[in-house]
Amino acid sequence: MSEIQDAAQIIKVSFEGAEIILKMGNTGWQFVKDICAVFKKVLDQEKLSGKTSVQKLLKMGGDLQVFRFETKDLERVKALANKYGILYSILPDLNEKDGMSEILFHSQAAPRIQSMMAKIEHSNIGTLDEYYENAEPDKVEQLVEEVKKPALPEPKECELVARELAKNQVEKISDVRSRLNMTWLQIWPIICYMEEQGILEKGKEGTVTLTRTPEQVEELVDSQQWKQLFGEEEAKRRSTGSSQETEEKMQVIRRIQKEKRNNPGVNAITIDQKLVYEETEHHIKTRIPYRKNEFIWLDKSEISWINDHKTIFAGLEKKKEYAILDLEDRFLRKTSGEDLYRESYDPVHRERARQEQEKIRRRREQNYRKAQQNLEAGRRTIQGQRR
DSSP secondary structure string for all residues of 57-85? HHHH-EEEEEEEEEGGGHHHHHHHHHHTT
Using one digit for the tens of pLDDT, what is the confidence trace for 319-365? Answer: 999 999 998 899 999 999 999 988 888 765 666 666 777 788 888 88
Looking at the fold, whether 46 and 140 belong to one and the same domain comes out as yes
* Same domain, residue pair 10 and 102: yes
Model pTM score = 0.39
What pLDDT is attached to residue 113?
94
Q: Which DSSP string do the residues of 199-241 spell out, in sequence order? A: SEEE-GGGEEEESS-HHHHHHHHTSHHHHHHHSHHHHHHHHS-
pLDDT, one tens digit per residue, over 47-66 is 545 565 777 777 776 678 89
Of 99, 114, 148, which closes a domain?
148
168, 222: one domain: yes
Instruction: Report the SS3 class of residue 186.
Output: helix
Task: Pick the most confident of 104-118, 211-225, 363-377.
Answer: 104-118
Residues 201 and 338 in one domain: no
Q: Let me know whether 125 and 13 are in one domain.
A: yes
The answer to whether residues 312 and 271 touch, using CB atoms and an 8 Å cutoff, is yes
Domain of 373, in residue numbers: 354-387
- Amino acid (one-letter) located at 91: L
Q: Given this model, what pLDDT does residue 241 score?
A: 45
User: Do 17 and 134 share a domain, yes or no?
Assistant: yes
Residues 194 and 249 in one domain: no
Residue 93 shares a structural domain with residue 213? no
Of residues 118 and 17, the one with the higher pLDDT is: 118
Q: Do 233 and 248 lie in a common domain?
A: no
% pLDDT > 90, the chain: 17
Q: Could you give the CA distance from residue 212 to residue 49 in angstroms, rounded to a whole number?
A: 40
Same domain, 225 and 331: no
Domains held by the chain: number? 4
What confidence score (pLDDT) does residue 257 get?
53
Residue of higher predicted confidence among 365 and 46 = 365
Residues 97 and 209 in one domain: no
Boundary-marking domain end, from 108, 128, 148: 148
| pLDDT single digits (tens) 180-197 | 877 665 787 788 888 888
99 and 14 inside one domain: yes
CB–CB of 179/167 below 8 Å?
no
- For 219-228, write each residue's pLDDT tens digit: 888 877 777 7
The end-to-end CA distance of the chain, in Å, is 56
Q: For the stretch 30-62, what's the b/e string if a residue is b when 16 or more beta carbons lie within 10 angstroms of its beta carbon?
A: ebbebbbbbbbbbbeebeeeeeebbbebbeeee
Phi, psi of 43 (to 5 degrees): -60, -45
pLDDT of residue 261: 58
Give the model confidence (pLDDT) of 269-325 as tens digits: 888 888 888 888 788 899 998 788 899 999 887 788 776 667 888 888 889 999 999
Domain boundary among 239, 255, 286: 239
Q: The domain that contains 177 carries what CATH number? A: 1.10.10.10
